[in-house]
């Protein structure tokens, strides 16, 4: 351990970057830094060879949301398949900005549907209200015969929408959470303030929405 130098660590960092992301390399460096600091406390070394090694500058992640063309393509392949349930789900996600599980059973029940709005239970048992527009009302009315508005598991919905219909629509690098981000992006594009969108999505801070 005492023979490991600053140069060794810089070489290690550059070599790791050839096969690993910046975030992954930084995880390695933080783990090694903790190890060397432990070695200092144990009296094995006087100074950490990572003391002057800087973490790799990470690029801000690109927020993935669906374009209007992708939304049309997605709804198109769903309609071609005659899958009313999948269309209801996609439209409900886009109109509520709900997290994947927030509108699926058992979280979302008919008790969650109120007069003119719905209640969604999010992270930390926080509850937020989403007003019902005409499309959402029609969807809920058409599903009143079911035990829950959307009596499906996350795995079932993921398989049906992402693996099946995203693929058919040519949508890549997207998941169910992409629909939530798309709902937020559409509201911003329509001229709503970042504060309104933050409250709508149930973010703990407007900084989360800005990112």
Question: What is the average pLDDT across 11-31?
Answer: 91
Per residue in 58-99, pLDDT tens?
877 778 999 999 999 999 999 999 999 999 999 999 999 999
For 129, the enclosing helix (H) or strand (E) is: strand 127-131
Q: What is the reported pLDDT for 210?
A: 86
Q: What is the reported pLDDT for 74?
A: 98
Angle (nearest 5°) at CA 127 between 126 and 132: 150
* Of 135 and 208, more confident: 135
Per residue in 166-198, pLDDT tens?
999 999 999 999 999 999 999 999 999 999 999
Structure tokens at 169: 């629509």
Query: What's the N-to-C CA distance of the chain in angstroms?
Result: 40
Q: What is the reported pLDDT for 123?
A: 78
How confident is residue 162, by pLDDT bands cut at 50, 70 and 90? very high
Q: What is the reported pLDDT for 23?
A: 87
Is the entire prediction scored with pTM above 0.75? no
Per residue in 99-134, pLDDT tens?
999 999 999 999 999 999 999 998 777 899 999 999
Q: What is the reported pLDDT for 21?
A: 86
CA distance 194 to 87: 28
Is the Cβ–Cβ distance between 194 and 209 less than 8 Å? yes
Q: Which residues of 178-202 are buried (b: 16+ CB within 10 A; e: fewer)?
A: bbbbbbbbbbeeeeeeeeebbebbb
Pairing of strands 127-131, 117-121: antiparallel
Is the Cβ–Cβ distance between 36 and 49 less than 8 Å? yes
Q: What is the reported pLDDT for 126?
A: 86
127, burial (CB in 10 Å: exposed 0-12, middle 13-18, buried 19+): exposed
Q: What is the reported pLDDT for 204?
A: 86
Structure tokens at 44: 């094995």
């Amino acid at each position: 351990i005492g023979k490991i130098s600053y140069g060794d660590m810089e070489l290690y960092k550059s070599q790791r970057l050839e096969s690993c992301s910046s975030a992954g390399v930084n995880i390695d460096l933080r783990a090694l830094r903790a190890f060397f600091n432990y070695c200092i406390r144990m009296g094995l070394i006087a100074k950490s060879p990572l003391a002057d090694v800087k973490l790799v500058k990470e690029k801000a992640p690109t927020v993935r949301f669906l374009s209007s063309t992708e939304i049309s393509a997605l709804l198109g392949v769903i309609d071609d398949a005659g899958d009313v349930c999948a269309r209801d789900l996609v439209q409900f996600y886009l109109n509520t900005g709900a997290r994947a599980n927030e509108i699926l059973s058992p979280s979302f029940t008919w008790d969650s549907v109120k007069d003119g709005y719905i209640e969604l239970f999010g992270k930390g048992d926080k509850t937020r209200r989403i007003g019902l527009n005409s499309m959402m009302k029609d969807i809920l009315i058409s599903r009143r015969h079911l035990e829950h508005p959307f009596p499906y598991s996350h795995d079932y919905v993921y398989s049906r929408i992402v693996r099946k219909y995203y693929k058919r629509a040519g949508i890549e690098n997207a998941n169910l959470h992409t629909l939530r981000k798309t709902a937020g992006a559409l509201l911003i594009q329509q001229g709503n303030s970042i504060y309104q969108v933050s409250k709508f999505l149930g973010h703990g801070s407007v900084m989360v929405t800005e990112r």
